[in-house]
Amino acid sequence: MPLAQARETARKQSLDLVEVAPTAAPPVCRLLDYGKFKYEQAKRERGDRRSQKISLLREVRLRPKIGDHDFNAKARTAKKLLTEGDKLKVTIMFRGREVTHPELGWKLLQRMAKDLEDVSTMERQPSMEGRRMNIILTPSNAQKSKAKESQNAKT
């Protein structure tokens, strides 16, 4: 219908004329209460935000001379973080002359990746950034679905 007629109809029904699809030919408009429409739209967005899980990048830090027991404790922590659905950055921090032996850090990161391969996949190979060497592990697909199920059970 013509714009003038649509405006007149909206005024008679005490509603607003809202353009829904401006790119369509001809543009699509609706008669509705604009305040109510905005409220419902905001309510829907809040609900959508609430249902999303923010995937965090968590970090576990190690040293090249870490003991076996300490390594296993860090591996348990890493496994817990991965099963919760978070990405994990495993970092080896070198101090002083330790940086001259990056192969020790590389072996440690490979060992961590191997210990966690049942719950994760390696997203990035070990890389050196200054005095730190790190890898990024992501939860495997099976772990992601378990994390979603446990999150739904909590709510």
CA-to-CA dists, residue 15 to 35, 36, 74, 122, angstroms: 10, 11, 62, 56
Mean pLDDT over the full length of the chain: 85
CA distance 89 to 64: 16
Residue 13 pLDDT greater than 70, yes or no: yes
> How do the domains of the chain map onto residue ranges?
3-51, 57-154
Q: Are 9 and 31 in contact (CB under 8 A)?
A: yes
How many C-beta neighbours within 10 Å does residue 110 have?
14
pTM value is: 0.59
Residue 15 pLDDT greater than 90, yes or no: no
What mean pLDDT comes out for the span 82-94? 91
pLDDT score for 67: 92
Residue 63 pLDDT greater than 70, yes or no: yes
From the list 66, 128, 56, the residue with the least C-alpha distance to 88 is 56
CATH of the domain spanning 3-51: 3.10.20.80
**What is the 3-state secondary structure of 51-64?**
HCCCCCEEEEEECC
CA-to-CA dists, residue 29 to 5, 69, 126, angstroms: 12, 67, 55
Domain 57-154 has CATH 3.50.50.60: no
From the list 126, 121, 131, 58, the residue with the least C-alpha distance to 93 is 131
